[in-house]
Amino acid sequence: MMKWLLGIAIYLILVIFILLFNRGAHKNDDK
């Protein structure tokens, strides 16, 4: 059960990180 929760947490963090990184990259590219 803990492994399942850990996997979901890591997946969510990765998705958020990628979204934030993509936004930052786009902003930097615009500049």
d(CA 22, CA 13): 14
d(CA 2, CA 14): 18
Sequence ranges of the domains in the chain: 1-26
- Quick one: pLDDT at residue 29? 62
Token output for 10? 């890591």
Q: What is the mean pLDDT of each run of 10 residues along the chain (31 residues)?
A: 94 96 73 56
d(CA 14, CA 7): 11
- Quick one: pLDDT at residue 31? 56
